[in-house]
Amino acid sequence: MSSPDASPFRPRAGQQWRERLIRAVLAACAAVSVLTTAAIVVVLLWESLLFFREVSPWEFLTGTRWAPKFQPQGFGVLPLVCGTLLIVVGSALVALPAGLVTGIYLSEYARPRTRAVLKPILEVLAGIPTVVYGYFALNFITPLIQKVLPADRFNAASAAVAVGIMILPMVASICDDAFQAVPNALRQGAYALGARRRQVVLQVVLPAALSGVIASYVLALSRAVGETMIVTLAAGAQPKLTLNPLEAIQTMTAYIVQVSLGDTPAGTVEYHTLYAVGLLLFLITFSLNVVAQRILRRYREVYE
């Protein structure tokens, strides 16, 4: 009888060494991502603490005037938050309905050849650099708006439309995947009861995939919150506490770009505002991503 050590299924010493090496490399890659995230959080917290030594968190979160470079200085972040909110709401009005309708069409109505053409087009839209969207908003969308409404050269509306076009492929793709994950037995059962296609889509498929649709919305909105180049080029650099989308505004990301240009001396209160605003932006996007991941997890548990 042959000994257990001579089994053909037992890995050789060289194979064991290679497997251990691959495992170590993969673990190192995972550790790099974790350590990078931890380092970013530590830097944000440390620099933000230096800022909050000079400015109270209450003033920062509730103040209505943002003017770190002027006298008297104002460190109320609400104008930047309001500008970011205008962009997010405006882009949601553009992308969420259009993305949902596009996902329904691709999943339930489009023929295979049509789907094979439209899917790559959506992927191309998702791959366009955001700076291109910014110049598109400034040179094309803004003149169109100015022909109809008395909008400023830099305004929140044109930036919101461009951001909505940018996040539309994300919404459409995730909605399409959510609809494709709905079992065909639900569709066939509805058709057997005499339902029409519109009724099947709206009353069977859409409710069954609602968790995936909501997750696509949350992920797209978190992407809109963190958008930088479009709002920097098209929305302006005037921190205003306004709800008028036709005026120039400034978002949190646009302010971070402005401070990052190098004109602000390091170590000053104005310089530390960069990290305080970045920390607030990080908390907002992190919260949205956590919500989206929980919805996606629940969505997977239902259909697995």
pLDDT digits (tens, 9 = 90+) for 247-272: 999 999 999 888 887 677 777 888 88
Assign residue 76 a region (left: φ > 0; alpha: ψ between -120 and 50; beta: otherwise): beta
pLDDT digits (tens, 9 = 90+) for 16-67: 788 888 888 999 998 998 899 899 889 889 989 989 988 888 989 888 888 8
- Report residue 219's pLDDT band, with 50, 70 and 90 as the boundaries: confident
The residues, ordered by sequence, that sit 6+ positions from 272 with a Cβ below 8 Å of its Cβ are 47, 48, 50, 51, 54
Q: Where are the alpha helices (DSSP H) in the chain?
A: 13-54, 57-62, 78-104, 112-127, 130-136, 142-148, 156-180, 184-192, 197-200, 206-208, 210-225, 229-234, 252-259, 269-303
pLDDT at 1 over 50: no
pTM, full prediction = 0.84
pLDDT at 269: 83
CA dist list (Å): 281 to 116, 211, 255, 274: 37, 25, 11, 11
pLDDT at 299: 60
Assess contact for 87 and 231: CB atoms under 8 A: yes
pLDDT digits (tens, 9 = 90+) for 70-86: 778 888 899 999 999 99
Query: Nearest CA to 225 among 277, 284, 274?
Result: 284
CA dist list (Å): 262 to 256, 259, 265, 274, 281: 11, 7, 7, 11, 20
pLDDT at 7: 53
pLDDT at 105: 92
The dihedral sign for the CA sequence 141, 247, 69, 271: negative
